[in-house]
Chain A
Amino acid sequence: MLKLIKTSVIGPGHLSDNLPNQDAIGHFISNEYWAIVVCDGMGSRIHADIGSIIAIQSIKAVLKKSDFDAPSKTVIAEFYQHWLNTLKQRAIKPNDAVTTVLIAWGDHQGHFRFFQLGDGVICTTKTNYTKTLIDEFSNLTTGLGLSKQYGDWTVGHGALSAQDNAILLMTDGISEDITEHCDFTEALATYSSNRSPRRVKKHLKDMFVSWPTPFHTDDKSLAMVILNDKK
């Protein structure tokens, strides 16, 4: 059985500026496949909140009809173009709606593919799949509307198992303040194992609101899939 946890909380920075949450989260589950998507609209762009929501819609629309074995570049190009087309219909410039993208797309046996553009982290309980750029400072990122190169993406695949049963996507509002990403994923999976998604979501929301890092400002969003969960 597959359990899905996802939640998004507006950060204090946007609250104090009377701006909307610029993160967006989404998912789909079919008989064969599932996907979780987390997008972080780039703060200073006037339509960042719309850019991230449309990215979620575009990615879900494309993944639902894509072959799970399709080349990564083809899949990305399709949902990127879908995102651009939708923005054009709404007369929004891509540069005004820049958003990062984190995707995990899998089947019910635990095989998954992942795609990342910009900051944030994708990891399981054992492996951090995000490019570690130790020389980067936390203020350097890219996203849809900025990047035009496939090389900017981190893509790959993996498999969940009884020993490594969860995959987590988190925006940099969370990941930048987390010390050990895989350990956090494992702890969250363990916490979720005997609790309902609703209860886990409430706990996460409470934690994000009372986030321990001083001066934290960012919106905080995550999505996680746990395989073979009993509850």
Chain B
Amino acid sequence: MTLKKFVANKPRALPVIILADTSGSMSIDGKINSLNQSLKDMIKSFAQEARSRAEINVAVITFGGQAEVHLNLTPAHQIEQLEELQATGGTPLGQACLLAKELIENKEILPSRSYRPVIILLSDGHPTDNYSLAFNELINSDRAKKATRLALSIGADADDSVLGDFNNDIEAPLFYAKNASDIHRFFRAVTMSVSNHSKSQAPNEPMKLDFAEVAEGELVEDDFDLDF
């Protein structure tokens, strides 16, 4: 009997994509060290998640001097060691957005059966490249619009306007890290949130919808005349 041959033997992925500013300024006040440790801790927690109902996958895209994929989207339990991020150069956010869009729209890497991705942007400065077009194309792309996007503003020089535009989770507004330990706190919160989500009764239902909150509008032709 061969019915089972039609069933996928790969688990559904819960992708977590980190867009990390690794510009030279991140080397100041222990920020890059805190980020490195935070990422390692997060991946370790994901890898040890025993009651997960999804396979948590992690990708890291860095932008410092130039943007690059530091870690391809990989199941957390398969990541043996994350190479340390190095802080150097400017802040080419636009390049990072291009790489992120390429990744999130790749349907072989992120098949449609994946759970809604979580994309995290963290930065301590202003973009140094012509980022607007790539940034807007990323946040307005069909798939990125459906992702949960969180942002971390590090220090006093971060571009909160850009980070605020990136963030689309109304229940988790832009998070501010005044110092290196706040970076760790942020990633602890992300780790807990993603872990809980992966274990939740319905990882396929990422947000709580309150039907009572739906604005009452005029009935249009396509609408049913239902009162509830």
Residues of A within 8 A of B (CB): 13-14, 16-17, 19, 42-44, 73, 76-77, 80-81, 84, 93-95, 133-141, 145-146, 148-151, 172, 176-180, 183-184, 187-188, 191, 203, 207, 211-218
CB-CB under 8 A from B80, the residues of chain A are none
B209 to chain A, nearest CB (A): 7
A186 to chain B, nearest CB (A): 10
Q: How far is the CA of A216 from the CA of B9 in the complex (A)?
A: 10
Q: State which of A42, A135, A176 has its C-beta within 8 Å of the C-beta of B143.
A: A135
Q: How far is the CA of A76 from the CA of B225 in the complex (A)?
A: 11
Q: How far is the CA of A188 from the CA of B4 in the complex (A)?
A: 10
CB-CB under 8 A from A93, the residues of chain B are 211
Digit string of B179-202 for contact with A (CB within 8 Å is 1, else 0)?
000000000000000000000111
CB-CB under 8 A from B52, the residues of chain A are 215
Q: State which of A95, A136, A179, A214 has its C-beta within 8 Å of the C-beta of B211.
A: A95
Q: State which of A77, A81, A139, A178 has its C-beta within 8 Å of the C-beta of B6.
A: A178
Interface centre among B107, B112, B200 (most CB of A within 10 A): B112
Is A149 a contact of B7 with CB atoms below 8 Å? no
Q: State which of A44, A94, A184, A216 has its C-beta within 8 Å of the C-beta of B3.
A: A184
A35 to chain B, nearest CB (A): 21
Ranked 9 nearest A-B pairs via Cβ: A43-B202, A95-B211, A214-B11, A139-B204, A184-B6, A215-B11, A135-B142, A217-B53, A139-B116
Is B223 a contact of A13 with CB atoms below 8 Å? no
CB-CB under 8 A from B222, the residues of chain A are 149-151
Q: State which of B116, B201, B212, B223 has its C-beta within 8 Å of the C-beta of A148.
A: B223
- Contact of A191 with B1 at beta-carbon distance under 8 Å, contacts A44-B200, A148-B224 already known: yes
B138, CB-defined interface residue at 8 Å: no
B220 to chain A, nearest CB (A): 8
Among residues of B, the one whose C-beta sits closest to the C-beta of A77 is B224
CB-CB under 8 A from A94, the residues of chain B are 211, 228
Is B11 a contact of A213 with CB atoms below 8 Å? yes
Q: How far is the CA of A15 from the CA of B9 in the complex (A)?
A: 21
Is A215 a contact of B53 with CB atoms below 8 Å? yes
Q: How far is the CA of A178 from the CA of B55 in the complex (A)?
A: 18
A131 to chain B, nearest CB (A): 12
Among residues of A, the one whose C-beta sits closest to the C-beta of B206 is A139
CB-CB under 8 A from B209, the residues of chain A are 95, 146
Is B10 a contact of A214 with CB atoms below 8 Å? yes
Q: State which of B2, B9, B116, B205 has its C-beta within 8 Å of the C-beta of A43.
A: B205
Among residues of B, the one whose C-beta sits closest to the C-beta of A17 is B201
Q: How far is the CA of A139 from the CA of B117 in the complex (A)?
A: 10
If over half of A's interface residues share one DSSP class (helix, strand or loop), that class is named, otherwise mixed; here it is loop
Q: How far is the CA of A177 from the CA of B113 in the complex (A)?
A: 8
Q: State which of B9, B200, B202, B226 has its C-beta within 8 Å of the C-beta of A84.
A: B226
Q: How far is the CA of A213 from the CA of B114 in the complex (A)?
A: 13
B171, CB-defined interface residue at 8 Å: no
B170, CB-defined interface residue at 8 Å: no
B168 to chain A, nearest CB (A): 14
Q: State which of A80, A207, A215 has its C-beta within 8 Å of the C-beta of B226.
A: A80
Interface centre among A42, A133, A148 (most CB of B within 10 A): A148
B54, CB-defined interface residue at 8 Å: yes
B218, CB-defined interface residue at 8 Å: no
CB-CB under 8 A from B114, the residues of chain A are 137-138
A9 to chain B, nearest CB (A): 14
CB-CB under 8 A from B202, the residues of chain A are 42-44
- Contact of A138 with B223 at beta-carbon distance under 8 Å, contacts A178-B6, A215-B11 already known: no
B178, CB-defined interface residue at 8 Å: no
Q: How far is the CA of A168 from the CA of B191 in the complex (A)?
A: 40
Among residues of B, the one whose C-beta sits closest to the C-beta of A183 is B6
CB-CB under 8 A from A76, the residues of chain B are 224
Q: State which of B3, B10, B53 has its C-beta within 8 Å of the C-beta of A207.
A: B3
Is A176 a contact of B113 with CB atoms below 8 Å? yes
Is A188 a contact of B55 with CB atoms below 8 Å? no
B83, CB-defined interface residue at 8 Å: no
CB-CB under 8 A from A184, the residues of chain B are 3, 6
A42 to chain B, nearest CB (A): 6
Q: How far is the CA of A76 from the CA of B107 in the complex (A)?
A: 34
